[in-house]
Amino acid sequence: MSPQAPATLGYHYLAVDGPIGVGKTTLVEMLTRHFEGVKILEDVDNPFLSDFYADRPGAAFQTELYFLLSRFKQQRDIGQRGLFDRLLVSDYTFQKSRIFAYLNLSDDELMLFDKLYALLEPQVPVPDLVLYLVADADTCMERIRKRARNLEKLISQHYLAELIDAYNHYYHYYVRSPLLVVDTRHLNFPQRPEDFDELLHRLAKPMKGTEYFQPLGSH
């Protein structure tokens, strides 16, 4: 365990976001262990997800509504549990729901979704810092193949490329909290401790607006 105490990080609530396969949950596990924090992993057992990947009519709307309400409940619990004496690390942001909805829903479905989202979103705690993990579609597809989750075998490279574009567009305009953009293409946090150490050093420095993590060994 590192001698660095969680309080020295200067944040109470970190959120790690990014497209499928970019390595969010792995990094959340490592940060939680290092800082003796509390991890918040989103509920991935969405009963409509297999129908969505099989392209069944109406499944996209059911899938996105389920995720929206599930994430909302979890985020409300964060605010009510009084856990802010320990670092909280989440593997998603609430805004993820909107990124996926804009990509997957029809205009009529999106109108309904947006009405519900507008009611829920103000009640959700804002992270003190968002780590936005980025990588190209080839890198994400390779990582998805390696972890070999059944449902994810149905994800196409085209869909993943569209999702990456949607994420990039959203975070280009993101101003809710400080944002650290982390290019993960040449990073391997679990296998190369020096990559993780470099990120920890970066997190120890104050951040404002949008900043970029460019590790020394990745050029």
What is the pLDDT, as a whole number, of residue 25? Answer: 93
Residues 6+ apart with CB under 8 A from 139: 21, 22, 184, 185
125-146 tens-digit pLDDT? 999 999 999 999 999 999 999 8
Q: Position 125: which residue type?
A: P
What is the pLDDT, as a whole number, of residue 187? Answer: 93
Query: Looking at residues 57-80, what average pLDDT do you find?
Result: 92
What is the pLDDT, as a whole number, of residue 4? Answer: 43
pTM attached to this predicted model: 0.91
Q: Is 108 in the active site?
A: no
Catalytic residue among 45, 51, 77, 91: 91
Q: Give the residue among 126, 77, 89 at the shortest CA–CA distance from 6.
A: 89
pLDDT band, very low/low/confident/very high, at 66 (cuts 50, 70, 90): very high
The answer to whether residue 181 scores a pLDDT higher than 50 is: yes
What is the pLDDT, as a whole number, of residue 217? Answer: 58
Residues 6+ apart with CB under 8 A from 169: none
Residue 54's SS3 state is: coil
DSSP per residue, 149-216: -TGGGG--HHHHHHHHHHHHHHHHS--SS-EEEEE-TT--TTT-HHHHHHHHHHHTS---SEEEE--G
The answer to whether residue 188 scores a pLDDT higher than 80 is: yes
The answer to whether residue 7 scores a pLDDT higher than 70 is: no
pLDDT band, very low/low/confident/very high, at 32 (cuts 50, 70, 90): very high
What is the pLDDT, as a whole number, of residue 163? Answer: 96
